[in-house]
Structure 1
């Protein structure tokens, strides 16, 4: 059985303006991974969007990777009136058959843990760390170098 986790890896590429992100996610049953090129500002936008969502949990935060290539979408929404949230992650590999792939999963969390994810992403956007781990209970840490799987 897998554990519920979100891992964000940064693969330096034309920094400080552009980078390659690798997102690895598991809901305990399913897991997926996607890599895509994006601006470093994307990491800051993700952080700001998650923190702003927590200011108004009746809202919805949606991030979609743009451009060509593999696709990543993250949606954060309230799942009930007691502060529980659903972080939906949709990943699609840009590959021709028979190598295509996709994964859609949801991590269930609470507002406090989403705030912690936003704060960690804000710190991650400073480009001092290459890997961020976040658990739906709010625990997590950042690493200066990629961790072995």
Structure 2
């Protein structure tokens, strides 16, 4: 008894084992090939079932069960060719400028983070309200809060 290499998984197994203990590949078939001289192996032509067999080496093969044969997939249909003008017309209709969501009368909504930061640090963040799209009401509240804090800091006792 000697250790040989499995032809499927390349792991060591006993030479007397009927199948590989790791992958289940039958060893009797491999031993029969090893005993046939190389000249005779070249003359043996595999049948159609042997040529198209897909083996993942998980279980021994059962010769009583017919093996599945992979068929060629059907070719995909070619895409429909359209005139170039139709594509241009479709692109011109789709290419409209995307506008940000507006709140009232085309004004831009003040995001939550900006509201919080204007309340906490108005000296820095109130200037963001000068960007285009913010309403006069949002700017009035922001700069009014800044003016109130400046007034309160100037009137406080030293």
Superposition TM-score, scaled by structure 1 size: 0.21
Q: Determine which structure has the larger helix proportion and give its number.
A: 2
Larger RCO (CA within 8 A; separation ≥ 6):
1
If you compute each CA radius of gyration, which structure gives the higher value, 1 or 2? Answer: 2
